[in-house]
Structure 1
């Protein structure tokens, strides 16, 4: 049951007039699966003489930190200011239910922002999701599932950024988002660490690790369409930013029991010397099917056409095999807040979730030597409060 704390503030003058009303809500998600994966290495591959050297590995059977959702807890609040204006905030931290340990070194590493909301939208300041995340959020068949969706490949490892100013507004059937970050706080580009941990805000070098983007989404209850753009300036050497650009679009249609969707994302990620980290075209398609009132099924296909890739700014360019993945989810609702699920995926030419050097091996599905395919399956339980 959702915990809700309602605080009514009455700042009283001699006339006893109430000037403001505010509320704070605690919320969260607990999600714990048990997973089997084959052909997974023990750790991140090393880079020797410009070549990846995978670690040995094999099958893995374990309880993992997240399944369909990332476990989290948070506080959100608002205060009515009058005249259609209100203040708002969100503080949200992630953790693993399997150990209780925070998933980053931050207390509120998922979101931490404050802002104002009015008749024409909201303006917020702090650690938030980028506009490309907002734009594609209703057009992904596996709903940004931790197991198994190539979210970092699709959106970029900077899809959650620090130091951000963001606008989000809804006007009838249209939703618009735009953001600017003074320093994304993402620490790596491929296999190379960024200056100042990717934090940006460097005196004399304003563009270091900055980013911006926008999205525009249309929905009418059945048909949906979105267009997105994202740019990030990752900086390995202070004063010499690289450039990562993404743009794309997606469509969806709700037939009732079945919702179908498909999308495309273009990407070029370049170092400061203009050499390409990766240039790829990424496609996906899938369906959500409500087989029974309590049972939902999802099927998704993801594919990347890699034109060029390299390990670091001076390594030779290559054209590796194109990764693809098929994902299936069966999710059964025990109540409005609790569900059990089975999720499974097979990836080819990369680790699951397209885990590879262009996304800094962000997902933990490290390929083994000579590995072509990787299979994973998990069962879990999720509760929302």
Structure 2
């Protein structure tokens, strides 16, 4: 498996000169050619997650769309996040009874039950795509029974988001922290009062993101200061709350192993959507490194990952490496242009794709998936 990964990585480098397609050509432009400028296509005529990107790009102002779309510098990491999955191929098994695959979609995340092994990643400024802000994300997650992780820089406050939650809905709250105990305790208290069940501490934003596209339109990083983020700080933060603190932005096997040593309950592999430093590997590639060098990490704590996920097969490949749950950010922000119905529709689409892609790969049970299906 190691040699296959290496050879395919080299092959991917050789193909780097070919044109990059932000949205695949599946006939979207021709099919919706009669739409007026800015008009959204009928929701029931969208067929996959990339359609939401295409719809949002045509509907949103250039400035607002740029905030969601931008990546760091020349945006290689952004493009690599999208393209990396197809450098690692599936090896479908046949003659397998896959008729019960949908019943294996439900999973637990930190002990909480959800209907699928994917979630809505933290993304700021929901109001750029919808005047109701994150309302559609909260309600869509509840309707689809998946996890939503609101961002601390959401358009709505922690308290506003809580008002849209159903009584039994589980959310995890994302935060940036700077070591100021007074400010941190205030945020932790607000999170506890909102009934969030975990804190997602973003650690891959120690400095401003080098975002040229965003700078051009005046929609740069929300968190732009130099920030002290250390293991000593994490150990201290754990004394300030009873909630589990997940570390988001792990990008090396060494940091994953250090997380185990420090008793972190879960890590979140991410390169911040390719928005912080260009050239950073995708979370999928980091998961491969962990699988190769320290596979025990996947059983020592829960591992989540995001970055470039657009298809059910992408989720299947992540799960095959040992990832517990897979995050998606931009697709749900684009779906939120349609509000709750759009987010709900996107969740339904992805559930269906995960199930049929797993079935076509010869996987009978997503809980028993392993690396034999990917190379």
Larger helix proportion of the pair: 2
Per the normalisation by structure 1, the TM-score is 0.29
Larger strand proportion of the pair: 1
